[in-house]
Structure 1
Amino acid sequence: MGDVKHPELVTSFIDGAFVPPATGGHRLDVINPSTEERQAQLCEADDREVGRAVQAAATAFEQARWHGLPVEQRAAILRRVADLAEQHSAELCYLESLDLGIPTRVAAAMVTARVARNFRFYADSLSQAAERAVRLDDQFQRYVHRDPVGVCGLISPWNAPLMLATSKIAPALAFGNTCVIKPSEYTPLALARFMTLLLEAGVPAGVVNMVNGRGHVTGAALTQHPQVGMLSFTGGGAAGRAIAAAAGQGLKKWDLELGGKSACIISDSADLDAALDGSLLGSPP
Structure 2
Amino acid sequence: MRQEKQRISLPLEQVEERIREGEAPPLYPSICTYERNEHGLMTEENLITFYHNSLYEHADIFVDQFIKTEEVPSQSGSLFPLLKRLKEVCDSMTVSDVKGKENTEELQKCLRECWVQQKLSIEGKGKCGENNDGTGRATYFSYELQKGMVDQMKKLLSTNRTNLMDHAICEETSFRSLALQIQWQIIIINNTFMAENGLTTNCPPNLVENCPMTPGRVNLRSALSDLFYHLRYPRLSKRFTDTLIGWIKELYATSKNM
- TM bucket, shorter chain: under 0.3
More helix by share: 2
More strand by share: 1
Q: Which structure would you say has the larger Rg?
A: 2
